[in-house]
Each structure stands twice: as structure tokens, then as C-alpha cells.
Amino acid sequence: MMFLKSDKKIPNYRLYGDETKDEVASFFNIKRLEEIPEQSDRVHRPHRHLNLFQIIWITHGFGDIMVDEQMYRMEKGSLFYISPGVVHACKISNDFKGFVVHFSPDLLLTQKGVCSSFEEINKTINNTVLVVKTDKAEEKVIHGIVLDIWKESIHEFVEKDQIISNYLNILMVHVLRQVYQDINIENSGVNHTTIQNFRNLIDQYYKKERGVSYYASLLHITPTYLNDTIKKSTGKTAGELIRERIILEAKRLLIFSSLSISEIAYELGFEDSAYFWKFFKKYVSISPKLFREKH
């Protein structure tokens, strides 16, 4: 299914249609899906939410959501947990219902010890998307939690923010249980904090810095130690993770934006569009032009 491209660059939203370039701090919002206006023909154009996590919980109807270059079916009893910065677009049925939650990470990082499920989920899915397909029993539990969050949000109760934060933490526990059930998590004693910090730094600097030594210096470790740590946990080198992040963003822009290939090359820090062309083809096996045409 083809989605409408963004006019130029992929917009950064706080909420759907609410474009912002500012940092978002201590932010929380929950809405019913049926209350969100579509941009055209039951379609939400490609966009991303910087600094905000998003949870989509579907209770009725169906739809298709494209997350980066992967298409997923949205249907009753499914939950989508989308990390900040991940590009997505969707087309939904007329009877599509449920809830969408946006929240900033500090909402769950205010108390030491209560955010372990949230942190573990994010370390495991590596800044992408998690799709949870519930059985009848778990669907009932998750729906109850989401409904409690929504009810709390629409009233001005005492300590409302604290209650919402607690409900979100409970929801994170249930999501993490699904992660443990569906994903083979490596428990090899590797320094996960180093790996996560490295990934976070890549997200910040990949357009300008592509050398492993640069990231190792920011982490106050040697390039050899960084490579060994990454290799032991992921089976890939530190350099491969940096290149994968560049390729991921290139794919996002080719699929979802109407920027020219030269403009995309410049956006990603390539001074020479011909070099970007060779770089992309080397790691994706087809040219940027053919990749765009296929999507």
C-alpha cells in the first residue's frame, strides 16, 4: 500500500498534525483514535515524534501502518510501541477505534527503580518499534490499564500525574513480558549501558561523525573495547552500527520524503552526492533511485 509522501522533509510532530522543532519535556497526552482527524482519505501522512514515545492500542476496526520500510497490520488487540524518531504512516478503516498515548521519557524516569521495565524494553528493541499481539486474557488486562490512564487524564484529580505515571509503569511491565516471550534476549553479562549510550550518541552525531574513535572518546573507552563490546552483544562491529543508522535514515527519506537524492545526500552529511550513491548501493545492493522506485 502506498502512502502520501511528505511535501519535503519528514515533519516532526508532537501530536498528529502538531508540528514542532522544540524539545519536549515532561509531556503526556492520550487521545481516542477516533477523535484524531485524518489528513486525507483516512490516511496519516509520514511523520515522526522527536523525544516522544508513542503507544497505539487498537480496540476496533483495522488499518495498515508502515514503520520505516516495514508494513504491519493494525487490528483489535494489537499494541504498537514506537520509539522517538521512527518514521511511520498509516491508513485506517472507517470504524477504527482505540487509544494513542504520547509521553516523554522523563515521565517514567523520575523515580529510581520504578522505570526498569521501560528501560529494558528500549534497550531490547533498539530505538525501533515493538508490535504486541495479545491473547484474550492479556487484551483484557491491557485494555483495562489503558482505559484507567484515559479516565485519569480527563479529570482533575489530586496527584493525577503520579497516578498516570504509575499506570504507565504497569503497562510497561506487561509490554516487557511480551518482549521476553517473543524476543530472544541475550543475557551474556555485556555492558548494556555502554551499548545503549553508544546507540544514543549515534542518533545524535551520525550525520557528522562516522569514525568509531570519535564515539569511543565520548564514552571514555578505547575503540577496541567499544568494538569488542558491541561485537559480543550484537554480532556486528561498532562501524557497522554507525553505517546502519545512516542507511536507515537514507531509506526513511527515500520512502517518505520528496527530497531529491542530492538533497538527501546533503541532509545526511555527504558533500558529494555521487559518494552517497556508491555508499548506499554498497550496503543496500541497489541504487537510491531504484530503492525509491520500489517503494
- List the one residue out of 147, 149, 144 whose CA is nearest residue 165: 149
Top pLDDT among 10 and 286 is at 286
User: pLDDT-derived band of residue 40, with 50, 70 and 90 as boundaries?
Assistant: low
pLDDT at 30 over 80: yes
pLDDT in tens, 125-159: 777 889 999 989 999 999 999 999 999 999 888 88
Give me the pLDDT at residue 239, please: 96
Give me the pLDDT at residue 11, please: 77
The reported pTM is 0.79
Give the 3-state DSSP-derived string for 197-252, with helices as H, strands as E and coil as C.
Answer: HHHHHHHHHCCCCCCHHHHHHHHCCCHHHHHHHHHHHHCCCHHHHHHHHHHHHHHH
Give me the pLDDT at residue 232, please: 86
Sequence ranges of the domains in the chain: 28-182, 192-294
For the segment 176-205, the average pLDDT, to the nearest whole number, is 73
pLDDT at 189 over 50: no
- Mean pLDDT, the chain, as a whole number? 86
pLDDT in tens, 52-74: 999 999 999 999 999 988 899 99
Give me the pLDDT at residue 97, please: 95
Give me the pLDDT at residue 227, please: 93
Cβ 84 vs Cβ 53: under 8 Å: yes
Top pLDDT among 184 and 107 is at 107
Kindly report the CATH number that applies to the domain delimited by 192-294: 1.10.10.60
Give me the pLDDT at residue 109, please: 67
Kindly report the CATH number that applies to the domain delimited by 28-182: 2.60.120.280
Top pLDDT among 113 and 278 is at 278
Give me the pLDDT at residue 234, please: 83
Measured on CA atoms in the order 139, 120, 180, 73, is the torsion positive or negative?
A: positive
For the segment 13-20, the average pLDDT, to the nearest whole number, is 66
Give me the pLDDT at residue 186, please: 47
pLDDT at 22 over 90: no
Give me the pLDDT at residue 200, please: 87
Q: Per mean pLDDT, which range of 6-20, 23-37, 211-225, 245-259 is the poorest?
A: 6-20
| C-alpha cell belonging to residue 108 | 517514567
- For residue 67, the tally of other CB atoms under 10 A from its CB is 18
pLDDT at 259 over 80: yes
User: For a pLDDT cut of 70, what percent of the chain falls above it?
Assistant: 86
- List the one residue out of 27, 79, 76, 30 whose CA is nearest residue 56: 79
